[in-house]
Amino acid sequence: MSGDAGAEAIERALEQTLRAGADAADALLVESDSLEARVRGEEIDFVKQARGHTLGIRALVRGESGLRSALTSTSDLRGDVVDRMAQETVQLARATEEDPFAGLPEEDYARDDVDLALFDPADRDVSVETRIAAARAAETAARATDPRIENSEGSQVSSGFSQVWLGDSRGFRGSYRSATHSLFSEPIARENGSMQRDYWMTTSRSLAGTDAPADVGRKAARRALRRLGGRRVATCQAPVIFDPVTAPSLLGHLAGCANGYSVYRQTSFLADRMGEQIASEALTVVDDGRKPGGLGSRPFDGEGQPTRRTTLIEGGRLASWLLDSYSARKLGSATTGNAARSAGGAPSAAPSNLWVEPGERSLEEIIASTERGLLVTELIGHGFQPVTGDYSRGAVGLWIEGGEIAYPVEEITIAGNLGQMLLDIDAVGSDLLWLGRLAAPSLRVAQMTIAGE
Amino acid sequence: MSDDLAFFHDRFGLDERMLTTALDTTLERKVDHADLFFEYTTQDSVVLEESIVKSGDRHLEQGVGVRAQTGQRQGYAHSDDVTVESLQLAATTARTISESNGDVRNVAVAPAARPRHDLYPVATAPTDVPVERKIELLGAIDTHARGLDPRVKQVMASLISQHRHVLIAASDGSLVADIQPLVRLNVQVVAESGESREIGYQGMGGRCDLDEVMAAGAWHPLVAEAVRIATLNLEAVPCPAGCMDVVLGPGWPGVLLHEAIGHGLEGDFNRKKTSAFTDRIGQRVAAEGVTVVDDGTLPGRRGSLNVDDEGTSTQRTLLIEDGILRGYLQDRLNARLMGMTATGNGRRESYAHLPMPRMTNTFMLAGQDDPEEIVRSVDRGLYAVSFDGGQVDITSGKFVFSANEAYRIENGRIGAPVKGATLIGNGPDVLTRVKRIGNDLALDRGVGSCGKDGQSVPVGVGLPTLRIDELTVGGTER
């Protein structure tokens, strides 16, 4: 689809929705094409290519005390289908109930002419063969690392390109392009009849920004190898270090609890704590939608608002929620430009690029200063309850004795309460690592309950 | 024009000739199997919070996926544009997986017999039920929940209706169509007492008429359960940590089977020898008396299908028989490569995804024991009644699942409710420690979704009351 065709589809959707009786409307069109391939051992496992687009229309209809709203989406962009959908959206909106807080944002809109390095035109013509070669290089390197690596779930590459158009009845029009390229390798180590898998990955907005495939494969292999011989430990209380792979999950739980929707719904343990010291002084958490090349970067959010830098936690003090315009109105605040939106969904609040500011110490130094404890390298299960902060998840990692890695551990759980865990963070690493939209350096929680034998 | 094709002909002008041309295009290269998967799915949902249905939504998802297989390789291309041109382009892309030329042939696509099963006939497509009725239901649920207990401070409810048309044409000439309704009602309440707040959640649904969840007799008990769990958790004490004997209640705790056993028995992992169950057919993996099946043929269930997403009829597959491992769950690719039979477990989230071996409804058959007597048989342990979900590492075999309703057992009696219990174990040996099997098999209420390789599909689970010794329970108390 040409840029003009995308813009025209937005105009048509808005015009038809207003004509059908909406008092306000917005429309979002996302076009994407993607390439994925996996190599396992010597063989190609699959190659997958796709092209698609989805148009979402939101209609708002004024009632006596608020707006009624509805949302529809379709991947059929034929003119008559869009026209009919616009009418259906308005009819559906009329059936819903009035909400005094509903509406388009009231603040000034973003300009979309900022260059955030989200797309490298040089990557546009990347061939299937080139990408398969990268997967093959990672797979070969992983298998060559050690004779105990004799199997794998494969090494997978993906390259995705997309363009977004957003428009609304207050006059906003914006569009931007972005790309994501990633490589993921998952080897299996085998010894004495037992198997262990692990993975490593690289993701970037440009192919030039991704790590060398062979390095990804070797690192994945070393991670799988160090898990061999994993055992349980006796149930105890001990310090727990989350590495840069697992620490972002804590940030994810925290972001969920600082989300404006959880706050006004009172489903977050942080709901009444704004301005309070909720974490260790060592913890500062920042969201920035304009980090150059960031996997969560974009010039404007899902409501056309400028993205920006927001400090959520400053030296342990809760300083801001993550907000879109609706949750901001509910909380008597202003949007933080964090409206997330897919073509098929209504705006909601979500982090853009969210990270924990790194500290001074390396992971090695933090381990050396831990007499006895656990380094967590993978978490499984969903044991986190946002309303109370109660936390209990399955863990895999390395046991620390006398400040040194002693042996791998598995089939254990770690439990605590996120509220207390945040206060108990007594070491923040210098090893911030970006594997996605959320990033954190190694974090040590002074004490948690470890359940095992 | 066959009836199967009629729906897609009306929407996209699809006819036999287009199917044949696209399949022939893939077969210009040497491929073992090729298929076309057409999908047209309508979904709508309404959501209530703060006693208002603030918004409604409706989505249309359509497209086609073209697949070619040669050996263990798969080429896949999909498009949301269903036209002659896009079909040809996808077919050309998919076949590049094969490097050698094939024999050009004219695939005669013939309508197969109707699917063997007719598991979910509905009088009205759930997406055709007027939205006003759906909104009215959520309002009634809100009022009812708040009336049950003054500690209920917040009610969130949602009703999701889906209607999915699929058509699968394959290079063996088969043509199969299915229409799959799916409904789901979710109720979440927040209860508050003094400083503490807790959540209670319940849901239900299936491949059925929307009236089945809209009847007061169906949703009243559901709402009561959500309120009961939220208020119960207000009284809950911290969960003990350590190794102990566990009694699982009937129904939804069957998620244990799904995580500990089911995933590890999916054909792809066993063909690749990456599962902890690799090469263990015929071996003991569970205690005597333990029989586990996967059954896609249960009428109206969330995990059921007349045919899987490769057009294979679903069936009841024996996985474990009296403690001995008997079978795997197979799609076409892995069945062919392993020299086994496809079991109707080739499923995909949508036309934009490759099929994989997936579970349908997975459950353990009932035993002989009285459930109350099973609880009495435990000296000190945990009684877990309801779960949020779980996860497994199929290679190491380690799995976890999290309880949202559990109690301590002291001297054979059910004691205080505990919060946030997580259970962790090792799939290949956890069922060898099954000590008692209840006579009360129950299936879940129809809320399960299973994620694998980024794809989500609806599933069901079931379990009789079960005693398992020496499971690790992750809590905070000694």
Domain boundary among B193, B208, B234: B234
* CB A64 within 8 Å of CB A12: no
Distance CA A50, CA B366 (A): 46
- Nearest Cα residue to B398 out of B417, B426, B361: B426
B178 shares a domain with B262: no
SS3 content of chain B, % helix, strand, coil (to 5): 25, 40, 35
Strand intervals (E) in A211-323: 236-242, 285-288, 309-314, 317-318
B299 and B430 in a single domain? The answer is yes
Whether residue B375 is found in the same domain as residue B276: yes
| End-of-domain residue from the set B180, B209, B234 | B234
The label of the residue with tokens 């996967």 reads B294
Asked if residue A407 lies in contact with residue A231, where contact means CB atoms within 8 angstroms, the answer is: yes
pLDDT digits (tens, 9 = 90+) for A362-374: 999 999 999 999 9
Per-residue confidence (pLDDT) for residue B61, from 0 to 100: 93
Specify the pLDDT at position A326.
97
Nearest to A47 among B75, B352, B477 (CB): B75
Residue A29 pairs with which residues in a beta bridge?
A: A55, A165
Domain identity same for B281 and B209? no
What is the CA A17 to chain-centroid distance, rounded? 32
Report the distance separating Cα A12 and Cα A57, nearest Å.
Answer: 11
Q: Which of A396, A407, A411, A393 is nearest to A453 (CA)?
A: A411
pLDDT at residue B306 greater than cutoff 70: yes
By DSSP bridging, strand A149-168 and strand B346-347 are: unpaired
Q: Element (H or E) spanning B418, and its range?
A: strand B413-419
Share of chain A above pLDDT 90, in %: 94
CATH number of the domain enclosing B178: 3.30.2290.10
The phi, psi pair for B172, rounded to 5°, reads -85, 5
Instruction: Pick the last residue of a domain from B187, B205, B234.
Output: B234
Predicted confidence (pLDDT) per residue in B427-467, tens digit = 999 999 999 999 999 999 999 999 999 999 999 999 999 99
d(CA B96, CA B75): 7
CA-CA distance, A124 to A126, in Å (whole number)?
6
How much of chain A, in percent, has pLDDT values that exceed 70? 99
Same domain, B87 and B203: yes
Same domain, B109 and B200: yes
Query: Does residue A1 surpass a pLDDT of 70?
Result: no
Q: What's the gap in Å between the CA of B171 and the closest CA on chain A?
A: 19
As a whole number, mean pLDDT of residues A143-171 equals 97
Chain A nearest-CA distance from B72, in A, is 6
Contacts of A396 in chain B (CB under 8 A): 393, 396, 398
Other CB atoms within 10 Å distance of the CB of residue B426: 18
Report the pLDDT averaged over residues B351-374.
97
Q: Does one domain contain both B302 and B432?
A: yes
Structure tokens, B17:
């000739």
Per-residue pLDDT, B1: 55
| CA-to-CA dists, residue A37 to A294, B7, B75, B98, angstroms | 24, 33, 9, 14
Chain B residues in contact with A387 (beta carbon < 8 A): 190, 197-199
Q: Out of B56, B80, B239, name the one closest to residue A96 (CB).
A: B56
Q: How far is B176 from chain A (nearest CA, A)?
A: 24
Where helices occur in B356-405 by DSSP H, the ranges are 371-376
Q: Which two tokens stand for residue B69?
A: 């297989």
Q: How confident is the model at residue B104 (pLDDT cuts 50, 70, 90)?
A: low
Q: Is the pLDDT of residue B208 over 80?
A: yes
**pLDDT value at residue A36:** 96
Residues 6+ apart with CB under 8 A from B359: B258, B262, B263, B266, B294, B303, B329, B345, B450, B459
Q: Tell me which chain B residue has its CA closest to the CA of residue A396.
A: B398
Find the mean pLDDT for residues A17-40: 97
- Overall domain count for chain B: 2
Quick check: B138 contacting A, CB < 8 Å?
no
Which residues from chain A sit within 8 angstroms of residue B420, using beta carbons? 383, 385, 388, 390-392, 415
Write down the pLDDT at residue A227: 97
**Backbone CA torsion sign across A338, A342, A347, A348:** negative
| Residue A287 predicted with pLDDT over 60 | yes
Stated pTM of the model: 0.95
**Where do we find the tokens 């050698």?**
B100
B398 touches chain A (CB under 8 A): yes
Domain of residue B159 covers 3-234
pLDDT at position A161 is 96
Specify the long-range contacts of residues B453-457, CB closer than 8 Å, at least 24 apart. Answer: B453/B356, B455/B348, B455/B349, B455/B353, B455/B356, B456/B349, B457/B347, B457/B348, B457/B349, B457/B358
Q: Is B149 exposed, middle or buried (0-12, 13-18, 19+ CB in 10 A)?
A: middle
What is the CA B248 to chain-centroid distance, rounded? Answer: 20
Question: How far, in Å, CA of B81 to CA of B186, rounded?
Answer: 33
The continuous run of DSSP H or E covering B5 comes out as: helix B3-12
Question: In the predicted model, is pLDDT for residue B262 greater than 90?
Answer: yes
In the chain, the amino acid numbered A322 is L
- As a whole number, mean pLDDT of residues B201-228 equals 96
pLDDT tens digits, one per residue of A257-266: 999 999 999 9
Residues B35 and B138 in one domain: yes
Q: State the nearest Cα–Cα gap between B460 and chain A, in angstroms.
A: 19
- pLDDT given at position A320: 98
Instruction: Give me the pLDDT at residue A338, please.
Output: 98
pLDDT given at position A399: 98
Residues B172 and B133 in one domain: yes
Interface of B with A in 336-355 (CB under 8 A): 352, 354
Looking at chain A, which residue has its C-alpha nearest residue B430? A411
Q: Which residue of B has its CA nearest to A330?
A: B50
Whether residues B86 and B165 share a domain: the answer is yes
B189 and B105 in a common domain: yes
Whether residues B279 and B387 fall in one domain: yes
Running DSSP on this structure, what letter comes out for residue A123?
Answer: G
Q: Is a pLDDT exceeding 80 seen at residue A169? A: yes
Structure tokens given for B10: 């009306």
Asked if residue B2 has pLDDT above 70, the reply is no
Per-residue pLDDT at B144 exceeds 80: yes
Weakest-pLDDT range from A109-113, A322-326, B283-287, B467-471: A109-113
Looking at the DSSP bridge assignments, the partners of residue A236 are: A450
User: Taking residues B271-280, what's their average pLDDT?
Assistant: 94
Instruction: Provide ipTM, 2 decimals.
Output: 0.94
Give Cβ neighbours of residue B451 (< 8 Å, ≥ 6 apart). none
Question: Is there a contact between A325 and A305 (Cβ–Cβ < 8 Å)?
Answer: yes
First to last CA, chain B: 69
